[in-house]
Structure 1
Amino acid sequence: MTTLLETRYRTVLRLLPAYYRREREEEMVETYLWDVDREVQDQSRPTFGEVASIAALAVRCRLGAPGAPRRYALLGSGVRLFALSALLLQAASAVVSPVLQLTWAFTRGASGRRMFLTEFTGRSTTETVVAVLAWTLPLLWPVAYFALVHDRRRLARYAALGAALPALWPLIRAIGSQAGDAAPPGLPWYETSAALLAWLPALALCAAYHRDAPGARLPGGSPGLVFLAGCVVTGGSLVLLPGVADLVWAPATAFVVGTAGWLVWRARGKDRTAPGAGLALAALGLLLLAVRVASLYPWLHVPGAAALLGGGLGQTAAVALLTLALAVAGGRDLARR
């Protein structure tokens, strides 16, 4: 007779994909019930640790664990490439932005240095700490990138999660300020999309680069050269076109240049990466497109913002077209394979 505890274990095990349950469900249920007296099984429940362990195993099985069916292997490959590409984009922006900021501040004399320091002084203790963390924690993005490509996965996970933390503060502050207004609060679109751009790659990194996953591999070039190229494109877009640059301009430009280059490289038949690269880059493009549109919306009715709007709308069109092209290319790759 089936006990209530066994039924509960089988319910939790439904988190696992069907192929894994067919092979291991009976063995796992016997293991969980082995040292539990039958008299108390109707009053017992799976522990939190057991449920968490099964949930982690379910994620690992669906993201390309050994012996997984083809669709799960492809999903895992795509999620890993998405995390790596987004990590590279964030890492390049995290290095270029403070370098240009410090260069500007210390080449403008005392006034420039004072203007830079006002970001961290003259505030409450909480705001000062938040400002310092918001300036320093994003520097963990390149740490996470280089740790991942050198197969230091635990360091990469912790660094990515730490680097994504500053993206939560503007969202929390926006929600808090709207909660105090008399009018019904609306969704802070830009803060939400920016937080997703930071946290989805970090969470994808934690989930897809499990202990059974293959190592990180870029579509082309050595990790250092690709990172340097990303920094050059990101910084050049800010230096050459400062009048149209906003917070999204540099990473979106790097995405446009990088994905256009990848499409040309793929068309020449030189792409040897795992399947799913096109769809992974298309997913990153959708995230960037959401941030790009959300950042432009507040400027639509601001006088004198024609240059910024023109550049932003042109960039939006480029990101949208490339995202569509990447989705088509990725779909064709999967159909061929």
Structure 2
Amino acid sequence: MTTLLEARYRTVLRLLPAYYRRGREEEMVEVYLWDVDQELQDQSRPTLGEVASIAALAVRSRLAATGAPRPYVLLGAAVRNFALFAVLLQAAAAVVDRVLELTWAGTHGTREWDMFLTGFTGRGPLTSVVEAAQWTLPLLWTVGYFALLHDRRRLAQASVLLAALPTLWPFAGPLVSELVPWDPWFATAGALFAWLPALALCAAHHRDAPAAVLPVGTPGLVFAACGVVMGASEVVLPAVPDAVWAPATCFVLGALGRLLLRPRRMDTRPACGAMALAALGLLLLAVRIATLYPWLGLPVPAAFVAAALAQTAALTLLTLALTVVAGRDLAGR
């Protein structure tokens, strides 16, 4: 006879994918009921810790690495690659922005340097702490990137979660300070650009997943190449760049290279690089549009709008092309 506690455990276990339940459900139910008195099973419930553990297992089993049905293996590989590529863009962008900011402030006289320092010290203690956190915490994207590629997963996960925290300030700032509310579309897109890769890294690079590996090059060389591309894109066109200009430019060049130089013979591993790049391109396209939208109709330089629209078109075309390539790759595996 099924007790109420057993029924409740089986209900919670429905969070797991069907393939996993078929092989493990009975064993798991027996383990959960092992030390619970029969007479108390109609008055008991699964603990919050048990529910959280099953929910985490549900995520890991859906983003599987081996031993799972093909769709789950492919999904897990795609999410892991998406997280790796997105964290790389975030890391390179954070370093390049701060290097250029320090270079400009340090080479254009005392007035520029004083303006740089005033941003941290001139608007009250709360704002000073927030400004310092917003300047320093994004550098942890770099820690997360190199930690991930050296298989230090817990360090990588903690680093990217801390690095993403500053994107929540546009929502919390107006509630606790005199900060003027940001454009909601821009603030939301910026938060998604940070938190989706961070959460994808935490979920997909679990302890059963394979070590993260770049499709080409070494971690330092790829990071340096991204930094050079992003820095050049901001220095060559100083009147054009905004928050998404450099990452999107780097993505466009990298994705175009992936399409032009992709191997003729199908890789037998479920790397799903094109699928991951297509997802990242869609995310960057959303951020690009959300960043451009508030400027439309305002007296901004025509070069800025033209460059942003050109980048939007390039992101759209590349994302569509990568989606087609990903579909063909999946069909051919």
TM-score normalized by the length of structure 2: 0.95
**What corresponds to 1:107 in structure 2?**
107
Matches of 2:295 and 2:177 in 1, distance apart?
A: 20
Shift of 1:304: 3.4
**What corresponds to 1:162 in structure 2?**
162
Residues 105 and 112 in structure 1, CA contact (< 8 A), matched pair in contact too:
yes
| 1:88-139 alpha-carbon deviations (Å, 9 max, x no partner) | 1001101100000000000011011011112112112111100000000000
**Does residue 222 in structure 1 map to residue 218 in structure 2?**
yes
**Does residue 120 in structure 1 map to residue 116 in structure 2?**
no
Shift of 1:176: 7.9
Matches of 2:311 and 2:20 in 1, distance apart?
A: 45
Aligned counterpart for 1:246 among listed residues 236, 242, 245: 242
**What corresponds to 2:254 in structure 1?**
258
Q: Provide runs of 4+ in structure 1 moved above 3 Å.
A: 173-178, 267-275
Shift of 1:175: 7.6
| 1:158-200 alpha-carbon deviations (Å, 9 max, x no partner) | 001010001111133368899x99xxxx981110011000000
Aligned ranges for residues 125-204 of structure 1 at < 5 Å? 125-173=125-173, 188-204=184-200
Change (3 A) 1:268 1:106: farther
Q: Secondary structure at the match of 1:258?
A: helix
Q: Secondary structure at the match of 1:120?
A: helix
**What corresponds to 1:9 in structure 2?**
9
Aligned counterpart for 2:280 among listed residues 278, 284, 304: 284
Unaligned runs of 5+ in 2: none
Change (3 A) 1:127 1:207: same
Shift of 1:302: 1.1
**Does residue 53 in structure 1 map to residue 47 in structure 2?**
no
**Does residue 86 in structure 1 map to residue 82 in structure 2?**
no
**Does residue 310 in structure 1 map to residue 313 in structure 2?**
no
Query: Which range moved further: 266-275 or 207-216?
Result: 266-275
Residues 251 and 281 in structure 2, CA contact (< 8 A), matched pair in contact too:
yes
Change (3 A) 1:306 1:251: same
Matches of 2:215 and 2:107 in 1, distance apart?
A: 38
Aligned pairs, number: 332
Matches of 1:312 and 1:174 in 2, distance apart?
A: 29
Matches of 2:269 and 2:261 in 1, distance apart?
A: 12
| 1:267-314 alpha-carbon deviations (Å, 9 max, x no partner) | 555978643111111111111111100111111111133121111001
Matches of 1:172 and 1:330 in 2, distance apart?
A: 38
Change (3 A) 1:273 1:117: farther
CA RMSD of aligned residues (A): 2.0
- Between the two proteins, what is the percent identity of the paired residues? 66
Matches of 1:323 and 1:143 in 2, distance apart?
A: 28
Residues 244 and 287 in structure 2, CA contact (< 8 A), matched pair in contact too:
yes
**What corresponds to 1:299 in structure 2?**
295
Counterpart of 1:22, as a letter, is R
| 1:236-284 alpha-carbon deviations (Å, 9 max, x no partner) | 0000001111111111101111111111121555978643111111111
Change (3 A) 1:310 1:273: farther
Change (3 A) 1:314 1:273: farther
Counterpart of 1:85, as a letter, is F
Unaligned runs of 5+ in 1: none
**What corresponds to 1:231 in structure 2?**
227
| 1:5-37 alpha-carbon deviations (Å, 9 max, x no partner) | 000000000001111111111111111011111
Q: Secondary structure at the match of 2:214?
A: coil
**Does residue 98 in structure 1 map to residue 94 in structure 2?**
no
Query: Which range moved further: 65-74 or 325-334?
Result: 65-74
**What corresponds to 1:72 in structure 2?**
72
Matches of 1:272 and 1:205 in 2, distance apart?
A: 23
Matches of 1:237 and 1:117 in 2, distance apart?
A: 26
Q: Secondary structure at the match of 2:250?
A: helix
Residues 84 and 145 in structure 2, CA contact (< 8 A), matched pair in contact too:
yes
Matches of 1:270 and 1:262 in 2, distance apart?
A: 14
Residues 65 and 208 in structure 2, CA contact (< 8 A), matched pair in contact too:
yes
Matches of 2:268 and 2:68 in 1, distance apart?
A: 22
Change (3 A) 1:45 1:324: same
